Amino acid sequence: MGYSWKAISRQLIQVGIVILLIFLLAGAARAQATPAATPAAPAPGVTPEHITQLDQGVAAAQSSADNAWMLASAALVLLMTGPGLALFYGGLVRQKNMLALMMQSFAMMAWVTVLWALVGYSLCFGSGTVIGGFEHAFLRGVGIAPNPDYSGTVPQLTFMVYQLMFAIITPALITGATAERMKFSGTVVFVTLWFLVVYAPLAHMVWGKGGFLNAAGGGRFPTLDFAGGTVVHISSGVSALVCALYLGKRTGYPKMPMPPHSMMLSFIGACLLWVGWFGFNAGSALASNGLASSAFVATHFGAAAAVVGWSAAEWLKNGKVSALGAISGAVAGLVAITPAAGFVGPMPALAIGLTAGVGCFLMVTRVKAFFGYDDALDAFGIHGAGGTIGAILTGVFATRSINPIFHDVAGKSMRVGWIDGHWQQVGNQLAGVLIAWGFAAIGTIALLKITDSLTGVRVSEEEESQGLDITQHGEEAYNLER
């Protein structure tokens, strides 16, 4: 039997191949047949109607073109959280806590989405100085028509879902600091509150219609934040630090060795973060135009230079370049270039990346060790620090030749960053940074206290030693035996 089918199958396949080859030649012969036509054009005619048609045709084509890139970008940004960040963090913890880390990211993909649909989008992108109103609750009035306040060409649905992806990854970043000791229930409750009380207002102030830090919208303190250095990375990074302090150290830290259980997973995660970040930064042009290309390049250059920076620092210190160092550097560079991506040229992007790579290396290896807090996976060391570095350097390197965002009353473009001679912008950036730091820190403390009283935030010591996978989720990541 074992033999007979083998025999049969081999014959089948031999016959198959012969037939296949015949087919191919047959087909190949026909290949030229394929006509190379293009869609026929309607009969011309120089009538106003026809011109109107053309106007609409152009608008529609432009909209489709931008939409193609924005939908791809939205997908890329989701890829950053799942599996990107989930793997990056999951690989860095000990095996017994790995599913827990992944679940915390995955939970955001689901739960923040629901919050977003109900009120989140409205709070972030409705109108108001500090926070949006309820005009878009349940996504009321969010359809395929563009929302001119934010993007003239793509359907508002696209803008809405694209922004949602940012709201998903931001709280997920915090879980890097609370890793290996925070309750799942506590995480869910805390994130729900944090999203409404910290993220929504901050996103609105910087990006929302009427937000008082909104540079494009002419806010009081025009803070340049192209893709979320302040809104996403500083807010999550600073909140992460507060969480780490509030939760306290993991049992055994720092005495007990806690090496990453799988550098391989973190490596995959970092690569997916890098790739996804193109959607994050270049997508923030909200169109498929030259600015998107420019931001794409800046993003890639920032990441690359930061890898070089971090690795060089490591080499000088240890005489070795580690994979963990390289991927951490990449993330640091991507964080730092985020606010700058759409404002700086390729060479400044390299400079920003290099600075962030070295800067975050020092944060993670020196500063953290000095203060001794347990920011388990360096959410603050990389996102908080990198975001801050990036925000300030954006003020330095932003240039109108890339993005003429400021105009005088006459609509003439004005100088943007220090490199343009507008050194005051560095001040504006600092203002934005300080507000974000303060707002995130205070909000987080308050919400942690509330969460603590509701569900508690930290698992019992026994649960911690058994691991969160089993105690919080009743599963194990690997069941290799049997």
Cβ-based nearer residue to a copy of itself, 19 or 434: 19
Distance of CA 176 to the CA centre of its chain: 14
Beta carbons within 8 Å of 260's beta carbon, 6+ residues apart: 91, 92, 93, 266, 324
Geometric angle at alpha carbon 157, from 152 and 158, rounded to 5°: 70
Contact 177, 380 (CB under 8 A): yes
Cβ-based nearer residue to a copy of itself, 157 or 431: 157
Cβ-based nearer residue to a copy of itself, 78 or 205: 78
**Residue 366, contacted partner among other proteins, a copy of itself, none, CB below 5-8 A by kind:** other proteins
Cβ-based nearer residue to a copy of itself, 251 or 401: 401
Residues near other proteins, by CB under 8 A = 254, 256-257, 259-260, 318, 320, 322, 324-325, 328, 364-366, 368-369, 378, 465-466, 470, 474-476, 481-482
Spell 258-273 as b/e; 16+ CB within 10 A means b: bebbbeebbbbbbebb
**Residue 109, contacted partner among a copy of itself, other proteins, none, CB below 5-8 A by kind:** a copy of itself
Cβ-based nearer residue to a copy of itself, 210 or 357: 357
Q: What are phi and psi of 255, to 5 degrees?
A: -60, -50
Query: In angstroms, what is the minimal distance from the CB of 303 to a copy of itself?
Result: 7
Contact 387, 378 (CB under 8 A): no
Cβ-based nearer residue to other proteins, 46 or 256: 256
**Residue 372, contacted partner among a copy of itself, other proteins, none, CB below 5-8 A by kind:** none
**Residue 319, contacted partner among a copy of itself, other proteins, none, CB below 5-8 A by kind:** a copy of itself
Query: In angstroms, what is the minimal distance from the CB of 36 to other proteins?
Result: 41
C-alpha distances (whole Å) from 16 to each of 1, 22, 164 are 22, 10, 50
Query: In angstroms, what is the minimal distance from the CB of 352 to other proteins?
Result: 22
**Residue 242, contacted partner among other proteins, a copy of itself, none, CB below 5-8 A by kind:** none
**Residue 167, contacted partner among a copy of itself, other proteins, none, CB below 5-8 A by kind:** none
Half-sphere exposure of 481 (CA within 13 A, CB side): 1
Q: Is the peptide bond before 259 cis (omega within 30 degrees of 0)?
A: no
Cβ-based nearer residue to a copy of itself, 151 or 239: 151
Amino acid at 320: K
Rg over CA atoms, the chain: 26
Q: List the one residue out of 327, 323, 306, 329 whose CA is nearest residue 88.
A: 327
Query: In angstroms, what is the minimal distance from the CB of 215 to a copy of itself?
Result: 19
Query: In angstroms, what is the minimal distance from the CB of 99 to other proteins?
Result: 11
Query: In angstroms, what is the minimal distance from the CB of 431 to a copy of itself?
Result: 24
Q: Ramachandran region of residue 349, left (φ > 0), alpha (ψ -120 to 50) or beta?
A: alpha
Contact 15, 7 (CB under 8 A): no
**Residue 465, contacted partner among a copy of itself, other proteins, none, CB below 5-8 A by kind:** other proteins
